[in-house]
Amino acid sequence: MKQQSILALAFLLVSAGVTLGTDGVPSIDDRSSLQPLRHLRKGMGGAYMNGSGGDGGVMGMGGGGRGGGPMGGRGRRRRRRRRRRRRGNRGGGGGGQGRGSSEMNTIHNLVNNRKEIYRKVKNIDDGIRTTTWSDNPQVSAWIDRHVAEMKALVESQNGGIRWWDDLFAKVFEMRDYVDLEYDTRKDGKGVVVRQRGDNACGTALVRAHAEVVSDFIKRGHNEMRKNHDVPAACL
């Protein structure tokens, strides 16, 4: 690498009209030919390149970007696009398919304030009834918003969140077999939700979902990072 760097620098110096005198000091035949040297910089690995080459590039391959070569700039853009797609398909910070960003923000607000949330769960015929509330008006408002957002997602054609989580993906896959109704508590501090399934799988899904939501409130983000199994009734 060092020998290549020396040869590359020597080639550019000769091209620019720079020669070595008998005393080893560079001399310039034509001062105007020194202009390209203004753009020289030493990249990673010791190779010299012009300003458009990028770190690690090879002299004469301007526009290469980090890693060198003429495809470096486009390569960086492709890598950024791939990283954005991967982030979009991961859980926690994103929804995956369909909508999800606003809904996940509400969920994170609730999990971050989970110590101020109270919840009761009761099995009913073909489903579940949950009561979730908070004495904090802001947290209570987030609870109301979350339930409204989830009802809208379930009733939409392609909306959903946490598609990487097997349980949530199945809930949205079976949206036509799940019914969700809710009312605001009389004291205005939360909501009462009734979820029912139209078949054995739908019933098992709403009950498993209610249990996981309770686990989110108990264990916070540690639980949110987990994948959750689909009930046996749906396999």
pLDDT of residue 10: 56
pLDDT at 34: 44
Return d(Cα 165, Cα 102) in angstroms, integer: 18
pLDDT in tens, 145-173: 999 999 999 999 888 999 999 999 999 99
The span from the CA of 54 to the CA of 50, in Å, is 8
User: 7-32 pLDDT, tens per residue?
Assistant: 555 555 555 555 555 555 555 444 44
Strand partners, 123: 128
pLDDT band for position 100 (cuts 50, 70, 90):
low
pTM above 0.85, yes or no: no
Average pLDDT over residues 191-196: 98
Q: Tell me what the mean pLDDT of segment 75-97 comes to.
A: 50
Mean pLDDT of all residues belonging to the chain: 76
Taking the C-alpha atoms of residue 5 and residue 20, their distance in angstroms, rounded to an integer, is: 17
Query: Higher-confidence residue: 88 or 176?
Result: 176
Q: Give the rounded percent of residues in the chain with a pLDDT score beyond 70.
A: 57
Residue with the bigger pLDDT between 118 and 83: it is 118
Q: What is the pLDDT of residue 170?
A: 97
What is the pLDDT at residue 153? 93
Q: Give the model's pLDDT for residue 157.
A: 83
Contact by Cβ (8 Å): 38, 31: no
Look at 22-31, 38-47, 107-116 and tell me which has the smallest mean pLDDT. 38-47
Q: For 29-57, what is the mean pLDDT?
A: 43
Q: How many CB atoms lie within 10 A of CB 52?
A: 14
For range 168-185, the mean pLDDT: 96
Return the HEC string of 212-227: HHHHHHHHCHHHHCCC
